[in-house]
Amino acid sequence: MRFGFWTKNDQQTSAIIECCQHAEATGWDGLWFADHFMPNEENVDQPVHEAWSVLAALAVAVPRVRLGPLVAGNTYRSPALTAKIAATIDHLSGGRVVLGIGAGWQENEHEAYGFEFGTLRSRMDRFDEAVEIICSLLGNHRTNLDGEHYTVTEAPLDPKPIQSPIPLLIGGGGRRRTLRTTARWATEWNYWGMPEDIAELCSVLDGHCEAIGRDPSEISRSACALLFIGEDSAKLERFRAMDLGRATIVGTPAEVCEVVEQYRQVGVDELIIPDFTFGPMEAKKHSMDLFIKEVAPNFR
Residue 68 resides in a domain:
yes
Residue 157 resides in a domain:
yes
Residues of the chain with pLDDT > 90, as a percent, come to 98
pLDDT of residue 241: 87
Q: How many residues does the structure list for the chain?
A: 300
Residue 268 resides in a domain:
no
Q: Is 52 helix (H, G, I), strand (E, B) or coil?
A: helix
Q: Is 189 helix (H, G, I), strand (E, B) or coil?
A: strand
Write the pLDDT tens digit of every residue in 215-231. 999 999 999 999 999 99
* pTM, two decimal places: 0.96
- Residue 132 binned pLDDT confidence (cut-offs 50, 70, 90): very high
* Rounded mean pLDDT, 267-276: 98
pLDDT of residue 47: 95
Sign of CA dihedral 261, 265, 270, 271: negative
Write the pLDDT tens digit of every residue in 46-77. 999 999 999 999 999 999 999 999 999 999 99
Residue 291 resides in a domain:
no
* Rounded mean pLDDT, 83-97: 98
Looking at every residue in the chain, the average pLDDT score rounds to: 97
* Rounded mean pLDDT, 245-272: 97
Residue 87 resides in a domain:
yes
Q: Helix (H) and strand (E) counts for the chain?
A: 10, 13
CA angle 166, 66, 186 (to 5 degrees): 35
pLDDT of residue 76: 98
Residue 36 resides in a domain:
yes
- Residue 199 binned pLDDT confidence (cut-offs 50, 70, 90): very high
Q: How many CB atoms lie within 10 A of CB 223?
A: 26
Residue 228 resides in a domain:
no
Write the pLDDT tens digit of every residue in 100-111. 999 999 999 999
Residue 100 resides in a domain:
yes
Supply the range of the domain harboring residue 130.
2-218
CATH code where residue 172 lies: 3.20.20.30
Strands 226-229 and 270-274: unpaired
CA angle 204, 205, 208 (to 5 degrees): 90
Domain count, the chain: 1
